[in-house]
Amino acid sequence: MVTFLFGAWNDALTALAMFMLLDYITGVMAAYMKPKAKLSSKRGLRGIVKKLALVTFVVFAHHLDLAIGQNIFCLLVTYALLGNEGLSIIENLSHCGVPIPASVKSKLEQLAHEKEGV
């Protein structure tokens, strides 16, 4: 079943699964550490639904690869999601008080402003 959905399991998919788990865990930690934020089961469920949507994107990309006879879209989507999840983990850790190097922090702020359309 997993092979049907994702193709041959590889290290990139393992890393993505771990990053998604770490992002969720660090997101809960960050919500706990922020004085103004609240832990919310509704918000947690939204996070899980978002992760399922990301997995659906990987499955879509794998089947697109099958349709065109190439092995590029699944890896491309997986690597893009790895970058996004990695940045989110770093941002969550920053909210938990973990010191983040200034260069990384400035890039995160730049990405946050781009996300908000500033």
Listing DSSP states for 10-32 in one string gives -HHHHHHHHHHHHHHHHHHHHHH
pTM: 0.83
What pLDDT shows up at residue 43? 83
Residue 33 has what DSSP assignment? H
pLDDT in tens, 36-77: 767 778 888 998 999 999 999 999 999 999 999 998 999 999
What pLDDT shows up at residue 17? 96
What pLDDT shows up at residue 117? 58
